[in-house]
Amino acid sequence: QSALTQPPSASGSLGQSITISCTGTSSDVGGYNYVSWYQQHPGKAPKLMIYEVNKRPSGVPDRFSGSKSGNTASLTVSGLQAEDEADYYCSSYAGSNKYWVFGGGTKLTVL
């Protein structure tokens, strides 16, 4: 059982927007502004898409955005494209005992 809760699946049509939620507790998501989102295509390594709740690494399209309210973080993908179809994992810093905790992942399907 993962520390953070994500919906197992999400879907959206080309060009539409989709939001994936990630629910934790005050000991992780709610306690720190260190929420990250990773994209993982089948057979590939995870790729950092969002860090520190809402910051995008260089090279990540601005179609990807992050936010947080209380113990729940969200990833929004706007203008869905075919290549966005992948698994998405949220992660949060959770202190020195647990360090990084992950969600169970959300499989995004682009229709």
Query: Is 40 within 8 Å of 46 (Cβ atoms)?
Result: yes
Does 66 participate in binding another protein (rule CB under 8 A)? Answer: no
Question: Taking the complex as a whole, how short is the minimal distance between the CB of residue 99 and another protein, in angstroms?
Answer: 5
Query: Is 74 within 8 Å of 58 (Cβ atoms)?
Result: no
Which window, 17-25, 44-52, 65-73, 75-83, contacts another protein (CB under 8 A)?
44-52
Q: Which residues contact 89 (CB under 8 A, 6 or more apart)?
A: 6, 37, 38, 40, 46, 102, 103, 105, 106
DSSP annotation of 20 reads E
Does 103 participate in binding another protein (rule CB under 8 A)? Answer: yes
* Cβ-based nearer residue to another protein, 17 or 100: 100
Does 30 participate in binding another protein (rule CB under 8 A)? Answer: no
Which window, 16-24, 65-73, 75-83, 98-106, contacts another protein (CB under 8 A)?
98-106
Q: Which residues contact 96 (CB under 8 A, 6 or more apart)?
A: none
- Which residues sit at the interface with another protein, rule CB under 8 A? 2, 32, 34, 36, 38, 44-48, 51-52, 57, 89, 91, 93, 96-105
